[in-house]
Amino acid sequence: MAVLAVYTFRPTVDQQILPEWTLSNYARLLEASVYGRMLIYSLFFAGLAAAISVIMTFPFAYFVATKVAPRRRFIWVALAAMQFFTSYLIRVFVWMNLLGDGGLLNEFLIGTGLISEPLWLFGANKAGIVITFVYLLAPLTFLTTYIALERCNPVLLEAAADMGAKSWQRLFRVTLPMARSGLLGGFVLGMIMILGDYITPQLIGGTEGYLYSNIIQLQFGSSVQWGMGATLALVLMVVVFALLLALRWISGGAPEVGTFTRSFNPSPAPALRTYAILFLVMLYLPIALLFILAFNDRPMIGFPFTGFTLQWFSAVFYDPLLIESMKNSLTVSAIAVGTSVVLGTLAAVYLARSKGPMRQTSLAIISIPVLLPPMLLGLAIIIGLNALGLSRGLWTIALGHTVLSLPIVTLLVMIRLEGLDRNLEDAAMDLGATPAMAFLRISVPQALPGIFAAALITLALSFDEFILTALVTGSESTLPLYIYGALRFGVTPSVVAVSVMLLTASFTLLLAGVLVANLGQRKGSPSAAAGLALST
């Protein structure tokens, strides 16, 4: 990223970065008002989608955090959060089939006689992009809101009720102020995700899906204006950090609500329960439609369902480019996960045993890749490689995936290590064990569930990562890149079958990781799902 900042002062002539200093990129940025207008428009667009997602997920998060018994929350949280860790590109692909004048939503409404012509709201336009982003952000905004609500002290609500506060007064005067850190966190992180996504607007909205991130990507693509692209990327990075600082400042004064209360209100809430069920249906119905399309005997994607078939799955294994892409994905994931587990575990040991400002500083630095859009990380990597004169290949993809995976491994293993008794290591050393032997023979076996869970989750994330991969790859293709190419140049039922296989593998790995992370948790301690959500 430091090299990226330096490149903002470099001119680009005949597609070459010249080794001289200039302010021409900043002058061009200030002179061309289109960049500022597009940034403001993108901020408004991202804020709108993030705000709608926060509002929609709040009732569901409130139900799970306050109306569901602690022993059953794990199921609800896992169901809601699982999609956040599955293929981003495939979830966008689902909405490509649902939206548009000929999309499944408009076809269904016309077929049932509810409308006579396609609705603009469900078209492949700006409205469709907002709907898609709301769907993509829903698991994230739920997690941040749920964590904040589960930490709220129910005694305050009881005290407000005893003093005559009505239900709506308790909501606006007590619950929302206590949960504001989670609400703001979901809003800001959702905006950051959208600001760094240059793929979804193009796939869903076509020519209407043009945001600030698309301008940046264009500078590093067909325009080959790396200096200007670095300048625009640096502006986006400043905006992202400003959003994070604003979140920290606004939520920093939140009242102290303590650790997870594990308390809940057993009173019936039929309206909230109905909303929660409909929310989960909204999350999984598009995925279910994708599975139905994969088994449809119809040679074209869509309905009606003409018969059950497995031919599209068998056709997958006769595509040499697809097989090669799958092998590349497995290779990259193995390297990234192996490196992340080793380095992340060592970092987690340090963080779990340190205290004070140094711990907080280290934790903040390690967490930066999670808080930045993958696009910025990808641009920083390719600019750094260019400065070093290195060519791109599979190893650069593995490098990028390692940067993304390291924080997740570190935080998950750290949570596990912080619950261990250090006295056991001291006792082992009193009996003659070296510090290294005590750590390997005492602490590592107890931390294995956290390490194994982190490996499974980062394996699923690495296998699905697309935005960063598309930037740092050379001529090699991975499975997400293969699917993206198919989405742009011709979707066949075989691509749907590949998507279903990838989703199934992701769900399996993630579910196994969450279940393993939940092993050994003390009764009454925070759920593993909540710990997972907090760490990521």
pLDDT at 523: 40
The 10 Å CB-count burial string (b at 16+, else e) for 187-219 is: bbbbbbbbbbbbbbbbbbbeeebbbbbbbbbbb
pLDDT at 222: 66
pLDDT at 343: 92
Gap between the Cα atoms of 3 and 70, Å rounded: 48
The 10 Å CB-count burial string (b at 16+, else e) for 51-72 is: bbbbebbbbbbbbbbbbbebee
Determine what percent of the chain falls in helix, strand and coil, rounding each to the nearest 5.
Answer: 75, 0, 25
- Whether 505 is covered by a domain: the verdict is yes
Gap between the Cα atoms of 270 and 276, Å rounded: 10
pLDDT at 107: 83
pLDDT at 467: 83
- Whether 99 is covered by a domain: the verdict is no
CA distances (Å), origin 452, targets 85, 436, 441: 16, 21, 17
- Whether 378 is covered by a domain: the verdict is yes
pLDDT at 251: 67
Q: What sign results for the dihedral spanned by CA atoms 1, 344, 479, 132?
A: negative
Gap between the Cα atoms of 226 and 465, Å rounded: 24
- With CA atoms as reference, report the closest residue to 387 among 3, 1, 9: 3
- Whether 106 is covered by a domain: the verdict is no
Query: Does the N-terminal peptide bond of residue 304 adopt cis geometry, omega within 30 degrees of 0?
Result: yes
Interhelix angle 70-81/33-66, nearest 10 degrees: 150
- Whether 441 is covered by a domain: the verdict is yes
pLDDT at 536: 41
Burial class (CB in 10 A: 0-12, 13-18, 19+), 505: middle
pLDDT at 264: 62
Low-confidence ranges of the chain (pLDDT < 70): 15, 85, 153-154, 207-209, 222-223, 251-266, 302, 419, 490-491, 514, 517-536
Whether the CB-CB separation of 78 and 529 falls below 8 Å is answered with: yes
How far does CA 132 lie from the centroid of its chain? Answer: 14
CA distances (Å), origin 69, targets 64, 92, 360, 427: 8, 34, 33, 39
CB atoms within 10 A of CB 282: 14
Burial class (CB in 10 A: 0-12, 13-18, 19+), 139: buried
- Whether 471 is covered by a domain: the verdict is yes
Helices (H) and strands (E) in the chain, counts: 26, 2
Q: Which residues pair with 296 in a beta bridge?
A: 308
Provide the residue count of the chain.
Answer: 536
- Whether 405 is covered by a domain: the verdict is yes
Q: Looking at residue 514, which CATH number applies to its domain?
A: 1.10.3720.10
pLDDT at 85: 67
SS3 151: coil
Domain that holds residue 473: 312-523
| Number of domains forming the structure of the chain | 1
- Whether 488 is covered by a domain: the verdict is yes
Q: Which helix (H) or strand (E) holds 13?
A: strand 12-13
